[in-house]
Amino acid sequence: MKRTILFFCLGVFGFIQGSAQQIVPGTLLIQVVPGTNTETLWPQIARAAATPVIDIRPIAPQWHIYKVSLSPAACEGRTAQIVQQVNRLPEVAIVQWDHQVDERTLTPNDPLWNEQRDMNLIGLTRAWENTTGGLTQAGDTIVVAVLEKGMQKEHPDLWPVYWRNYGEVPDNNIDDDNNGYVDDFLGWDAAAGKGDGNGTGSSHGTSVCGIIGARGDDNFGVTGVNWNVRVLPIVNVALESEIIAAYSYAGEMRRLYNTSNRQKGAFVVVTNASFGIDNARADAYPLWCAVYDSLGKIGVLSVAATANANRDVDADGDMPTTCNSEFLMTVTNVDANTGKKMLNAGFGATSIDFGSPGSGTYTTINRQITQSDTIWHGTFGGTSAACPHTSGAIGLIYSVKCSGYVADAITNPVACARRVRDAVFNNLRAEPTLAGITAHEGRLDVDLVIQDIMELCTGVVGELEILDIRPNPVRDRLEMRYQAPDYEDKYILRIFEASGKIMYDDTFAPPEFEAKIKYIDMEKWPSGVYFLQFGTGKNFFGKKIVKI
């Protein structure tokens, strides 16, 4: 009886034919029986295969596996016969053909997908393997609120994705669901104070909505960052008063959802503002700036675009990106092909968080009728396009297939919103053209975000280890990034002076579903050499720190 070495799985057969279209021509993978004299085996394989052996390479010596190259031409039409013949040799445990594998990226069937280089830049083909958006694991319908002058709501790539308030009867001039807003069946008109019209005829809002959530994989047009998310249109937003009213509407929908046991309102997780005021100082807009903290307290993040000019907004001012709120995420524009910062895009080491693709975006536009065709899609760029890539990503993150990750979105909305925000900040792709001119010095990468979440989701992220300590030397605040095998144990972090005096002593449990980071304020410590000790029980790690 043929001996079969088991290391992949139980019940491996002596030979495996495999899929013909995936076979690498002329290349066998052979596991030999331990102790075999391979020098005498290779001529036997050549005779059994009736073709010369061209090359032999061990690929897993500990498992006695070799890659054996034969003449592809001599093997043509005889793949099954060759495997059967080689398998008869008693020294051969397993024989099979080598196979080509495909990347398991998920791409939509929308015919204009090949134009959407922006989506590839932020890693969406891999991110979509986990989720394409729409619902949380608890079944909440995810909503992204878009503040715009207007959009073409009847656009065929957008009409299915708009959020609808089915508790409201449209156009009867009655607040049917008693939410304080009349006729808000398909969004809200901030200028009129009721209804859900298209607003102005601007194509700007149509493009913004398409980036966030154009229906994906529907054999039409393009796809958004989300294939199935709901977009809440808030139109006729042009004045500061209308901006505040629009944010108030989005916030009230989320507040109702939180307080009604999910029976009223909408699960708004993020707002999008692809507008602003150049050279404006935040202290002149206290009500507008205060909105972002108010939204954050009920679990709503906000994303805003900076200026379309190569301007340091920290020095020159900008609204709303210079508003000081932990719940406001601010973005600049990077090229959809290269990821590099665009020259005509604002920056600020304090006020602008990171970059997101804008220039080179292909998405939905207002309908254009020509003599030969009706055009629904085209190019759209600038920081206005960078912003919805980010708000769309926030919506997608809420749908990630990790049952516990946003489970507290209703019961603890602030913590949940911070967790999602930090997942983005902590998983940006480094971009040299953003270094020193943005707060986080990178650009959006949704794939990295979701990979990190799924690692955290397991509750185990590797053995206890210090991953990074920075800056070192340090002037003020030290940042320690670490991994821990579970969330049950308590860990000890101590820092000693060279003399042995304890300067810092903390015992803590690592946070669940969050980046493992500890911050230590060393600003007032004397200059010198310190020793950091981190661990639990007998398992401790040490690092030297220089304070300057």
Question: What residues in the chain have per-residue pLDDT under 70?
Answer: 1-22, 100-106, 197, 458-462, 486-488, 538
How much is the pLDDT for 504?
95
Nearest alpha-carbon partner for 456 in 425, 489, 419, 490: 419
How much is the pLDDT for 18?
46
How much is the pLDDT for 486?
61
How much is the pLDDT for 387?
97
How much is the pLDDT for 4?
42
CB 322 within 8 A of CB 352: no
How much is the pLDDT for 276?
93
Q: What's the token pair of residue 372? A: 């030969």
- How many of the other CB atoms lie within 10 Å of CB of 527? 9
Type of residue found at 76 = E
How much is the pLDDT for 107?
75
How much is the pLDDT for 14?
47
* Cα–Cα distance measured from residue 509 to residue 489, given in angstroms and rounded to the nearest whole number: 6
SS (H, E, C) 446-488: HHHHHHHHHHHHCCCCCCCEEEEEECCCECCEEEEEEECCCCC
* Cα–Cα distance measured from residue 438 to residue 426, given in angstroms and rounded to the nearest whole number: 14
The reported pTM is 0.73
Domains and CATH numbers, the chain: 15-99 (3.30.70.80), 113-454 (3.40.50.200), 461-547 (2.60.40.3080)
How much is the pLDDT for 125?
93
How much is the pLDDT for 510?
81
Q: Is the peptide bond before 471 cis (omega within 30 degrees of 0)?
A: yes
User: What is the DSSP-derived secondary structure letter of residue 215?
Assistant: P
